[in-house]
Amino acid sequence: MPWGSRGDLPTDLACWLAGLGVGLLTNPPRRPQDNGVVERSQGVGKAWSEPKSCTSATELQRRVDELDRWQRDLYPTVEGRPRSAVYPGLKHSRRRYEASREAGSWDLRRAWAWVGSHLVARQVDSRGKVSLYNRGYFVGLMWSGRRIWVGFDPERGEWMFQDETGHEISRQPAPELSAEQILALEVTHRRRGCHAAKPRAQTKAAKPRAQTGAAKPTTQ
């Protein structure tokens, strides 16, 4: 799946795709061996299309389209036959996407169900907060420095905060997972301009940031 993330929560794109009913298969970050066929295909496409020699995105797209045709219709793979001859059923998708039908087919409940299948760990900072999609959620000063678990209730659209034994600490609404935010691909709060240089006299020492714990394995 494109547009991956180093985070442990579903990306903006994944939430949108889930709402359309598209099945999602993910693999861990920095583990190309878990998605070898796709990774190898991308490598071949890059080697054959030579993006650095293209003068525009249009030229690159034209090359990639032509190389896809070579791979599927001309390059021998099975008993000297090309892929299109060996697997003719793959030429046409059985679920053609039409943008005009998106409003009627997209379902928030499916997106919420996908998020609800994740359970993630968080380290509570000194202010009693944890970060979800780059937004701070207050769970209480008594939890500062401790690790907690965060889940999502797809029936009520709420974040669920639990201690390490599974006892629920609190619940809070998840406005970033509204239909409007997901459809606009604005689930994640992206801090714009945060890397702009500051005058040396105004620069303060950076505060240590809380470390994010590893995600707890879940059964899909």
Write the DSSP assignment of 11-39 as a string of letters: PHHHHHHHHTT-------TT-GGGGHHHH
Measure the CA–CA gap between 192 and 212, rounded to whole angstroms: 22
Structure tokens at 12: 């903006």
User: Is residue 86 within a helix (H) or strand (E), and if so which, with residue range?
Assistant: helix 83-86
pLDDT computed for residue 30 by the predictor: 72
pLDDT computed for residue 95 by the predictor: 67
Domain locations along the chain: 21-100, 108-191
**Type of residue at 53:** S
Chain centroid to CA 169: 27
196 pLDDT higher than 80:
no
96 pLDDT higher than 90:
no
Own/partner long-range contacts of 86-94 (Cβ < 8 Å, ≥24 apart): none
Instruction: Quickly name the fold that domain 108-191 has.
Output: SH3 type barrels. (2.30.30)
Place of tokens 């240590």: 208
Q: Please give the radius of gyration of the chain, using alpha carbons only, rounded to the nearest integer.
A: 22
Which pTM value belongs to this model?
Answer: 0.67
- Bridge-based pairing of strands 129-132 and 120-123 is unpaired
pLDDT computed for residue 185 by the predictor: 94
pLDDT tens, position by position, 53-89: 999 999 999 999 998 898 889 988 888 999 899 998 8
**Type of residue at 185:** L
pLDDT computed for residue 5 by the predictor: 61
